[in-house]
Structure 1
Amino acid sequence: MKTLYLDPFSGVAGDMLVGALLDLGLDFEQWQVQLQRLNITGYHLSIEKTKVSAINGTKFHVQLVDHKQKIDTGLTALEQTSTVDAHANQSVKHHHHHHGRNLEMITSIIETSGLSTYVKESAIAVFQEIAQAEAQVHGLAMNEIHFHEVGAVDSIVDIVGTLIAIEMLEVDQIVCGEIYDGTGLIQVAHGMMPVPVPAVMILRQGADLPMRQRADVKTELVTPTGLALLKFLVNEFGPQPQDMILLGVGYGFGSRETGALNALRISLFDSKMSKKIQQRQSDAVLELHTNLDDETGEAIGAITNHLMNLGVYDVFCTPIFMKKNRPAYELTVILPARLQNSVIELLFRKTSTVGVRWQNMQRAMMERSFEQIETTLGLVQVKNFTYHGIEKFSFEFDDINQIAEKHHLTLTKVKQIVMQQIKQDKYREL
């Protein structure tokens, strides 16, 4: 299970999200291929690998080819109506002087695209959230709102691009830390406005968003687009995940000069303990048990996922018969002692159990390390195991499976080919 952790210590905007996701290592060319399914023109995309405040990261740029060019949606008549420029701050990276586009037009662009169902539905939901906030700010109906900023090509790219990147990374859940905005006043199309800007304040209404203001930054850090994306995407707010494997970190730089590091940090975690380097040969663990006689298979599967995501070492079920010969399952959890309270609370909250039992145990395990082997079929990650001179190794199943699908081979055949090449290269004495 992959968890994306967002750290908006300097606010959040659409371009910062895209930049940070690409900085994680996402292939820019493949990402652009997916984005082209929008079927809109008039822009050029680029990324800039740079350093800000001695930190390496990525700036994401949308360059408009022709500021007067319209998106061809067949709804250009709607652009003749009056417009509302929600947040046309002239200091941002793009000056949004486009014809206005309302929610109906933006929805049409997305619905008629070749994007996946997830990206389409999510993008429309985000734009609806923004349109509703802007409508409340200006006292108009949602479809009476015509956006210069939110409806511009670059903002459509920011929102849709963020969703495409998350889909490509196969993220299962998103967790976010505290959201920081600036303070003071900024100049927008309607005059001086306090920070947070009006649409951001409306987006916060009724939402349990942990937002703080930075007294050292006298400008806007949180944009309506960025906050709307967070509201839609984030599953929970809190600290970084514990007992998970950190796969990568990305920094997406903002366009404002704030006097401090203006970046969004994104970290990608994986709950697979099999990817964790193990340098010990023994340790102490707890073995915890509880009996479940009125849970469905789906419910037991769900609690197993919750426990593994929490960071336990293993979870398994044993069929048993309880009093009156009722069929049931004994759920066994192997865990480090520090997770005892968290596991017990999770079992009481997520299952029907009213009691658990545990015992302290010692275990011996082989040391574990990883390396990648280049084969004629592609890269394969190998897990190496050692214990007092005893050596074993195994292949990462995901790598073998991907190679099998790519070359239309069986898993057994791929393993045979890889093993043969390892023998030839004298990688191991077999």
Structure 2
Amino acid sequence: GGLAATALTVVATDYAHGEHEGQHGRSHAELANILDQAALEPKVKKGTAAMLRMLAEAEAAVHGVDAEEVHFHEVGGLDTLVDLAGSLIALDLLGVERVYAGPVPWSHGHIRTAHGLLPVPAPATVQLLEGLPIRPLDLDGETVTPTGAVLLRYLAHSLGPPPVMTVAAVGYGAGRREFSDLPNVLRVVLGEAAAHDSAGDALIEDNVVEISANLDDMPGELFEAVMEAAFAAGALDVWMTPIYMKRNRPAVMLSALAPPGLADAVTEAFLRNSTTLGVRRTLRTRTCLPRQTATVETAYGRVTVKLGRLGGRVVTAQPEYRECVDLARKAGVTVREVYAAALAAAENLRQAE
């Protein structure tokens, strides 16, 4: 009477699991080194490294130590890297451009860990869920792990009602633990976003929260820290606008866009890291070009390019700036030269359609 679901088991034949990990787990640096040596696409490595760092910072906050001192126990094996990198690879293979999720199920009970008996959700999980919407679930057992929480925080565009879309496929992934009253499965629904089709165009609409604050008393060097904190909290974009306030005082309006589910976290980043006493929040509707990513070959190496489409054709291309910087440094040329080469390669893609 249950649900048919797929369970995936990964076997690492050359990995001595018990001897090393059973003693004290792996450190963030050890896992990062394993990731660095893995044969993965750069964008997969980048995303996995970012989530691994978020896990380390959550554990560090819970235990009152520096992130570099953290030793993972329950999430300290290769399975963590498989979960994080595998999720990014799967989304890429499926062509997923945006991830949405429902509110996080908050169960109850306790779990046995290397630190003893801890309440559910685990402290690191709660740390990672800060600012995200939850829903109470009357179930004795762990329904969200730290790894699951970091995937939600990093990947989900918003947590709440699903977007308007056409369902294309549905899949179920099975967990190992059996719950008496609830199937232990994760459902993934793949869909096509609802689009406006006026004159053959296909535009995507969604809602975001604009957060802003006027600052006339903060040293300029602190703005970078505020922006970094806002991005770390889940902001989609952060920008500054020069303004004049009362009595013609020069000031800066600091603004950010955030998914509705992360607006509280970005607001807190503003309040904690700037001199403002309050922020303004406005719900905005965005109209976006459908996007996809492509990898182009240049004389300096491979570059990821974001492509914007309208009416079924590519109308804009944006090379990944950081990749251009890295390639320019290695080749001893300017970033502008690498950038131009990537744009030319993207133009060839457009003309070939």
Q: TM range, normalised to the smaller chain? A: 0.5 to 0.7
- Call closer, same or farther: CA 1:350–1:220 in 2, change over 3 Å: closer
CA separation in 2, counterparts of 1:110 and 1:204? 25
**Cα RMSD for the two superposed structures:** 3.5
- Alignment equivalent of 2:172, drawn from 251, 254, 270: 251
Aligned counterpart, 1:210? 133
* 1:2-401 → structure 2 map (5 Å cutoff): 53-65=1-13, 68=16, 97=22, 100-205=25-130, 207=131, 209-215=132-138, 217-242=139-164, 244-259=165-180, 260-271=182-193, 305-307=203-205, 349-350=285-286
CA separation in 2, counterparts of 1:256 and 1:262? 7
The one-letter amino acid of 1:214's match is L
Question: 3-state SS of the aligned residue for 1:60?
Answer: coil
The one-letter amino acid of 1:305's match is L
Which whole-Å deviations, capped at 9, do the CAs of 1:287-309 have from their partners, x for residues lacking one? 9xxxxxxxxxxxxx9xx6235x8
Contact 1:137–1:199 under 8 Å retained in 2: yes
Shift of 1:174: 0.6
Shift of 1:109: 2.3
Contact 1:150–1:156 under 8 Å retained in 2: no
The one-letter amino acid of 1:306's match is I
When normalised by structure 1's length, the TM-score is 0.45
Which whole-Å deviations, capped at 9, do the CAs of 1:207-244 have from their partners, x for residues lacking one? 2x1112311x11111000010011000011222222x2
CA separation in 2, counterparts of 1:211 and 1:272? 26
- Call closer, same or farther: CA 1:214–1:65 in 2, change over 3 Å: same
The one-letter amino acid of 2:137's match is R
Shift of 1:65: 3.8
Shift of 1:411: 9.0
Question: 3-state SS of the aligned residue for 1:56?
Answer: coil
- Call closer, same or farther: CA 1:67–1:148 in 2, change over 3 Å: farther
- Call closer, same or farther: CA 1:181–1:66 in 2, change over 3 Å: farther
The one-letter amino acid of 2:154's match is F
- Call closer, same or farther: CA 1:196–1:154 in 2, change over 3 Å: same
Shift of 1:258: 1.7
Question: 3-state SS of the aligned residue for 1:186?
Answer: strand
Shift of 1:195: 1.1
Which whole-Å deviations, capped at 9, do the CAs of 1:90-125 have from their partners, x for residues lacking one? xxxxxx626632222222222333322221111001
Shift of 1:181: 2.9
Contact 1:200–1:222 under 8 Å retained in 2: yes
Shift of 1:170: 1.3
Shift of 1:192: 1.8
Contact 2:108–2:119 under 8 Å retained in 1: yes
CA separation in 2, counterparts of 1:350 and 1:124? 30
CA separation in 2, counterparts of 1:263 and 1:233? 19
Higher relative contact order (CA 8 A, sep 6+): 1
When normalised by structure 2's length, the TM-score is 0.54
Aligned counterpart, 1:380? none
Aligned identity (percent) is: 35
The one-letter amino acid of 1:100's match is G
Shift of 1:257: 1.7
Contact 1:245–1:272 under 8 Å retained in 2: yes
Contact 2:106–2:121 under 8 Å retained in 1: yes
Aligned counterpart, 1:329? none
- Call closer, same or farther: CA 1:146–1:55 in 2, change over 3 Å: same
